[in-house]
Chains A and B, each alone.
Chain A
Amino acid sequence: MSDTLLELKNLTKSFGENGVLKGINLKVEQGEFVTLLGSSGCGKTTTLRIIAGLEEPDSGQVILNQKDITALEPNLRDVNTVFQNYALFPYMNVEQNIGYGLKIRKVPKAEIQKRVKEMLEIVQLQGFEKRKPDELSGGQRQRVAIARAIINSPRVLLLDEPLGALDLKLRRQMQLELKKLQKKLGITFIYITHDQEEAINMSDRIAVMRNGVFEQIGTPNEIYYHPKTSYVADFVGNANVIHLDDKTYAVRSENVLMDGEAECIYYAVVEEKSFAGGQLRIVFRLQDGQLVTASRYGIDAQIRVGETRNIGWHKNDAVEVLDNAE
């Protein structure tokens, strides 16, 4: 592919005895929004740090724009990072923080001022120029961190759980803003999160990571509807992983049917019933002991814990997956 901007080739990295990355391969196109999704300790931050140059891989290559940058110092890479804790310089005000990268590159003062002003407009922080980081809210700090990174017009912007410290409402709002910003700037984003909802909302492609390898790389649709492994099915889609006749299937909870329909061929006892977030969740126990969760919108008073029902699912809704649960 000639459009490939960034390529990770067989990256490995260990800290002491601990193998953190065990052969990472990824191709990212110009302008793409790629999310590395995984639980903590899966190696996603290490991958990001290797791309930024803050960590050196034990083996493998990082190729940016057809050039091998594996051994290049971080300051010489066309890549910028939005750090998890933002890492804003506490003794500089907003303006100085944002202008830091240009000042280091000895860009003329007038030019810096102009660019900082543009950035403040983009991240909607006009009027905050003279504030210090500790006089800003979490969301505002986050915007400063983004502005400070994108002012350098990097080829790739790396974001390490940038929304992790924000509350849910602000997080949702920032998700949309970030996505808009990315489209507007046309910069390639590599985004780290452990939140599958965030990943699905924002990404062009998602790389699901686990124990130092990518389990599956694909569009949100592919990952959500066609998980390749039971881990991906569970982690990304919260799907039921059901073992039947030596095969493993992923069935999404909203696709579990109850009573009446032709596919309802399993006897199941209602184990648990709960209502949260506008959704009713019913946990069934099949005769062989496996648990299956079904979800419905609204409440249903007719279902009682302990009673037996017939459940099932359409054949198309059961995706065969590789069983690799721990």
Chain B
Amino acid sequence: MPNKKKTKKEAAAQKKSNALLLPLYLFTIIFVFAPLVYMIILSFLQKAEIWGVKNVFTLENYRRILEPLYLGTFTESLKLAFLSTAAIILIGYPYGYFMARMSERWKKRMMMLLMIPFWTSALIRLNGWIIVFRSNGVLDKLLMGLHLTDKPLKLLYSYEAVLVGMIYALLPFMILSVYSSAEKMDWSLVEAARDLGAGRVKAFVSVTLKMTLPGLLSGVILTFIPSMGLFFIADLLGGNKVVLVGNVIQEQLTKGRNLPFAAALSVVLMVLTSLIIAFYRRVAHTKELEGMFV
């Protein structure tokens, strides 16, 4: 009998906590779930003559994505996303790692350095890169001044410029998430590994890397997803030479006034990124289970 009483009480408590969670659920439904459903529905409808949609079911939007032009954009975007993510890992991981090992005073300073750029708009910061990259811009002048090259390099409006822009824009997210997991790390684990016979490299791979993997992974997610869709970076630094999925979506929405096709592109992009993230998770997870990193 007392058991039943307890469960009753527990049920009441459960109800109460459910009620408290209600705003969260509502928020998620209104701002995440509903738009998503709306977008998916849109992607199966026909474009109206001038603006809006006709309520006619069609698969045409998805078929159109398979055209070489759009498929090419997807592969291009993926390539750029992989490249920029790889570069961001290479720069961001050591940065976050060493930042976590600094004294409290230096941690604060490095954090400050990381935060200052966020005080201005991303668009303005990207315009800074234009000044650096453009013909006879800062970089050209520097290289010519050092006699490394004798004519302007036409760096702006190139794939490389977009890549640099992506890395620049997304690097802080990697640094911060690596830093936060390295910061929480129990360094005595590394000492234990060293004590048990691991050299510096082995201790790093078998302990530090494993312990900071969650941070690294969330950094990858935070950089990979946006780099598929940050259209304004490709716009500003790539001109019309680099067209990413984000640019196509934006163009279809504004100039093309084709809501259904933009929605279809978005759905495919979302599915693609979800799959890739699931794959990342999988890789990290199975390795963890088998302790393969040693």
Contact = CB atoms under 8 A, between A and B. Distances in A.
Interface of A: 52-54, 73-75, 79-81, 83, 85, 87-92, 96, 100-101, 103-105, 148-149, 152
Interface of B: 186, 188-189, 191-199, 202-203, 206-207, 210-211, 288, 291, 294
A91 B209 CA distance: 12
A28 to B, nearest CB: 18
A81 B194 CA distance: 10
Given A83-B191, A87-B191, A91-B210, A96 B291 contact: yes
Given A87-B186, A87-B188, A89-B189, A74 B291 contact: no
Contacts of A105: 197
A83 B188 CA distance: 8
A92 B192 CA distance: 14
Given A90-B189, A101-B197, A149-B196, 15 more contacts: A52-B195, A73-B199, A74-B195, A75-B197, A80-B195, A80-B196, A81-B195, A83-B188, A87-B189, A89-B189, A89-B193, A96-B291, A104-B196, A148-B196, A152-B196
Contact of B198 (A80, A87, A104): A104
Residue in A79, A88, A104 with the greatest tally of chain B CB atoms within 10 Å: A104
A250 B132 CA distance: 80
Contacts of B192: 81, 83, 87-89
A100 B294 CA distance: 8
* 8 closest cross-chain pairs (CB), A and B: A87-B192, A101-B196, A87-B188, A74-B194, A104-B197, A81-B195, A75-B197, A104-B198
B188 A104 contact: no
B189 A75 contact: no
Contacts of A87: 186, 188-189, 191-192
A118 B276 CA distance: 44
B281 to A, nearest CB: 15
B194 A54 contact: yes
A54 B195 contact: yes
